[in-house]
Amino acid sequence: MNELLQVYLSAWPTVWAMDTARYLVGATLMATILAVFWRTGLARRKLQARDPNPGQKRREILGSLRTAFIFSLLGAIVAVGDHQGWITIYKGFSQAGPLYLVLSLALMLVAHDTYFYWIHRAMHHRRLFTLFHRTHHLSRTPTPWAAYSFAVPEAMVHGAFVPLFLLFVPMHGLGLLAFGIVQILRNVMGHAGAEVHSAAFGPGRWLGWNNTTTHHDLHHEAGRYNYGLYFRFWDKLMGTEHPDYRRKFEAIVSPAAAAPASIGVGSAIARAIAGSVLVGGLFLAADPVRADDGPVGRWAAPGVAAIVELAPCSGAASLCGTIRWLWQATDDKGRPRLDSQNADTALRTRPLVGLSILSGLTRTTNGGWEGRIYNPEDGQTYRATLSRAGTDALSIEGCVLFICQKQVWRSVSVLQAALR
Ligand SMILES: [Zn+2]
Ligand SMILES: [Zn+2]
């Protein structure tokens, strides 16, 4: 026992120094890249209009240093396991060659992504969120310093991965080092706040199976989507990828986004006029509904309380619905209405306009559509079924257990016709 403690204590300072240095070097590197290339391109790739809160960086750094400490407490157990023969860490290539190193590293990354996806999704459950994950989501507009900004319980769950994985899979020492480097680099890239990936990382492109800054930034901004760490596999498979991901990534890396942002006053006014025409036009020049595409297009909820756009979710054969317009878009004080009833407190500052409320709608055998509907009035998500009620109406049924509520939405083309 004494010997084990000695092994542990002699390994710990090195593990702690490496975990801390890994974070500081990774985050500093990303912050430096952002600072150097901000004016020459990255400013135009900023993902959110809002800026990080004052004092946020300090909180993120302190939280991350605490996490590195917790990682080292768990990581030093690896040295004990190695000493006792519970796990195997290869040194040199006599027992397992370079090919094994590469394959085991790939396996470790896939396993970590899987572990992260499910743990992360579970931590978003309302009973676990406050204790485990709220600290990380205090950064709604993350910076690279947020990479390890976790509450102590969350840090312990993440730090357990490496010792657990090594119980099952022997690794090269170099493979472990590479894992540590890839992990922090992907992490600081995800929290960069401006898209640092090239267009080749776009969905459908050759590196599109990887996550991007847009992907994880949308998680911080919208919460209910994009739980993966390195890859998009699990989010695609489980239908939790943000419906707007593809559109947003492509828009941010497109040459148009990279065009000079400096606009004169004249063109600013022209843009403002074009903008207001566009906004006014949402109501009048709405997309026609194509029968063969299902209920794609804009729909008005009863009393024209809201206009919801149904469109294909990004990269998926399902439909998603987004609030595009609200009769009452502001509260009594003239502020935009927010998703204030959300169970996830981190999401309560999201504006209702632009909120995705219908997701994963797929065709049913009887010609209708089935998916999920989020009701901002009570902050709950329900099972939803949609069916056509004639050519210009849509019947929406949201069900909790056996209680179902029905609404009929009207195609905006009916409203257009009435205005003629
Ligand atoms: Zn999260
Ligand atoms: Zn994050």
Kindly provide the residue ranges of all beta strands, DSSP E only, lying in 202-346, ordered along the sequence: 297-300, 306-312, 319-326
Q: Assign 3-class secondary structure to 322-374.
A: EEEEECCCECCCCCECECCCCCCHHHCCCECCCCEEEEEEEECCCCCEEEEEE
pLDDT of residue 397: 81
pLDDT of residue 273: 37
Concatenated DSSP letters of 146-185: GGG---HHHHHHHHTHHHHHHHHS-EEHHHHHHHHHHHHH
1 Cα: distance to centroid of ligand 2 (angstroms): 39
374 Cα: distance to centroid of ligand 2 (angstroms): 23
Q: Domain coordinates of the chain in residue numbers?
A: 2-255, 289-419
216 Cα: distance to centroid of ligand 1 (angstroms): 9
Rounded to whole angstroms, how far apart are CA atoms 152 and 157? 9
Rounded to whole angstroms, how far apart are CA atoms 30 and 13? 26
pLDDT of residue 390: 77
Average pLDDT, the chain: 85
Alpha carbon of 379 to those of 50, 88, 338, 343, 393: distances in Å? Answer: 24, 48, 11, 6, 26
189 alpha carbon, closest ligand: 2
216 Cα: distance to centroid of ligand 2 (angstroms): 6
Q: Which residues of the chain have pLDDT under 70?
A: 1, 255-293, 315-316, 399-404
For 189-231, the pLDDT digits (tens) are: 999 999 999 999 999 999 999 999 999 999 999 888 999 999 9
120 Cα: distance to centroid of ligand 1 (angstroms): 6
Return the residue matching tokens 């989020």.
374
14 Cα: distance to centroid of ligand 1 (angstroms): 30
304 Cα: distance to centroid of ligand 2 (angstroms): 37
186 alpha carbon, closest ligand: 2
Q: Which tokens is 143 given?
A: 């910076």
121 alpha carbon, closest ligand: 1
For 9-58, the pLDDT digits (tens) are: 999 999 999 999 999 999 999 999 999 999 888 988 999 988 998 899 99
pLDDT of residue 1: 64
Contact (CB, 8 A) for 34 and 193: yes
30: left (phi over 0), alpha (psi -120 to 50) or beta: alpha
pLDDT of residue 274: 40
User: What is the second-level CATH architecture of the domain 289-419?
Assistant: Beta Barrel (2.40)
pLDDT of residue 388: 83
227 alpha carbon, closest ligand: 1
What distance separates the 2 farthest-apart alpha carbons in the chain?
A: 87
pLDDT of residue 6: 94
pLDDT of residue 60: 96
116 alpha carbon, closest ligand: 1
212 Cα: distance to centroid of ligand 2 (angstroms): 12
